[in-house]
Structure 1
Amino acid sequence: MVTVERSITVDRPADEVLRYLADFGHTVEWDPGTESCARLDGGPVAEGARWLNVSRFRGRRTELSYRLDRYEADRLVFVGANRTVTATDDITVRARAGRTVVDYRARLQFKGLARVAGPFLRPAFERLADEVAERLPRVLDTL
């Protein structure tokens, strides 16, 4: 398993940030690895909403079906899966001193033979997390 975490401070209201991040389709704007992310169902964004995320990581294209597992006043949990990995994105959003702190934790649980590669992929996931931490504040500033 690989876990990466970042704490990101932004100058937007916490409730606005949470609503934006709750729509996983926005990952194309703030996650440099995401090529597309399409909603698979309709209606309001709520627990149970689903997306198909297409990403490129280390030159390989991968698709994960994501589900919004938890939607709370200050926390979002998305779980995505395919045949080689289960990815859990756990996002906490809280107001602090007139700003908003986004705590982002991505946990990747590899399956089958991919489990062997997991530890070797950590540096690449850390770089990707750094890129997210750099890009997300810029995107949120344009809301």
Structure 2
Amino acid sequence: MPTIQRTVRTNTPPGVVWDYLSDFTTTAEWDPNVVRTVRLSGQGGPGSQYECTNNFFGVRMTLVFTVVHDDPPHVLRLEGEGANMRVTDTIELSRQGDGTQVAYTSELRVRGLPGLADPLLGLPVVNLPFKKLGDDAERGLRAALDRLPSPVPDLPNGVGDLHVATVVLDVQDMTRAVAFWCAALGYRPREYEPDPDFMMLDDPRDRHVTISLQRASQPPTEPVRVHLDLYTRDQEGHVDRLVGLGATRVPDWPYPADPDFVVLRDPDGNEFCVIDQS
């Protein structure tokens, strides 16, 4: 049976390469012989199915691939079934320094041939067209992997899990504010938010940061400013770290005291909250 084997090395780390290649729909991006690939079912793990349309020596051919083995981030194996062909594709990843080595193997079995004919397809002369398929895929795969974005660099020591969770706006009329921001951005209020003085609005597409509306205790004497809520499981440690970086505590915060909230000002006087998420 014809077998296509190629090895590609890239400076892109294994985790990034796996995330890309384990989504089998990306074959249409790196294999010039693939016209389109769509996922039919599943989330990419074992049992997931993909419909792959190929340009096979000038003839359109459709195969349905099923993920039969999934060992992140090392091995992905799929079985493809078409009208005249069966294919087994195996993608194996191994770390090479800071980069990745990808071993790609595609085993093809042609239906409808006598039993003795299948071995003939493995002969060098007969296998030349399949070699071209492999060469095309190798070039496309190498280019695609080298184009993948670099991973986020290591964060400075001490940052840990501290992150922006929501942008908070002080409002006077909660009903009016919810209606305005939902209409303006297409956001939706969280149904399970029980506090009438605090409402979180989420992007239904899950693409952008949450907006929180907080009822102000008194009318503002100056234009209302936005502040950040930073969530962490190490509130005390991060408060000490941030104070060491130049932040100052706000002793006269005009809202009810809450031990889970610590309000700080950055060196420019902008207020933000460090919230205990533990």
TM over 0.5: yes
SS at match of 1:47: coil
Distance 1:37 1:6 in 2: 21
Distance 2:5 2:31 in 1: 14
Aligned-pair CA distance for 1:96: 1.2
Q: Hey, what does 2:88 align to over in structure 1?
A: 88
Report the structure number with the largest CA radius of gyration: 2
Aligned-pair CA distance for 1:54: 0.4
CA 104–2 in structure 1, closer or farther in 2 if over 3 Å, else same: same
Q: Hey, what does 1:130 align to over in structure 2?
A: 135
Aligned-pair CA distance for 1:58: 1.1
Identical-pair percentage: 28
CA contact (8 A) 1:84 1:114 kept: no
Q: Deviations over 1:99-123 (max 9, x none)?
A: 2000011100122138747617521
Q: Hey, what does 2:29 align to over in structure 1?
A: 29
Q: Deviations over 1:34-64 (max 9, x none)?
A: 001111114x221111011001111100000
Amino acid at match of 2:111: K
Distance 2:51 2:2 in 1: 22
CA 31–121 in structure 1, closer or farther in 2 if over 3 Å, else same: farther
Aligned-pair CA distance for 1:97: 2.0
Q: How does 1:71-110 map to 2 (within 5 A)?
A: 71-73=70-72, 74-110=74-110
Q: Hey, what does 2:58 align to over in structure 1?
A: 59
Amino acid at match of 1:128: L
Distance 1:41 1:85 in 2: 21
Q: TM-score, normalised by structure 2?
A: 0.48
Distance 1:65 1:114 in 2: 24
Q: Number of residues paired by the alignment?
A: 142
SS at match of 1:66: strand
SS at match of 1:17: helix
SS at match of 2:16: helix
SS at match of 1:26: helix
Instruction: Give runs of ≥4 in structure 1 deviating > 4 Å.
Output: none
Aligned-pair CA distance for 1:78: 1.0
Amino acid at match of 1:58: F
Aligned-pair CA distance for 1:141: 2.1
SS at match of 1:135: helix
Q: Deviations over 1:17-43 (max 9, x none)?
A: 11211111100001111001111114x
Amino acid at match of 2:141: L
CA 101–85 in structure 1, closer or farther in 2 if over 3 Å, else same: same
Question: Where is the helix percentage greater, Structure 1 or Structure 2?
Answer: 1
SS at match of 2:79: strand
CA contact (8 A) 2:75 2:91 kept: yes
Distance 1:52 1:126 in 2: 24
Q: Hey, what does 1:2 align to over in structure 2?
A: 2
Greater relative contact order (Cα < 8 A, sep 6+): 1
Amino acid at match of 2:97: A
CA 132–114 in structure 1, closer or farther in 2 if over 3 Å, else same: farther
Amino acid at match of 1:76: L
Report whether the alignment pairs 1:19 with 2:24: no
Q: Which runs of 5+ in 2 are unaligned?
A: 149-278
Q: TM-score, normalised by structure 1?
A: 0.91
CA contact (8 A) 2:33 2:137 kept: no
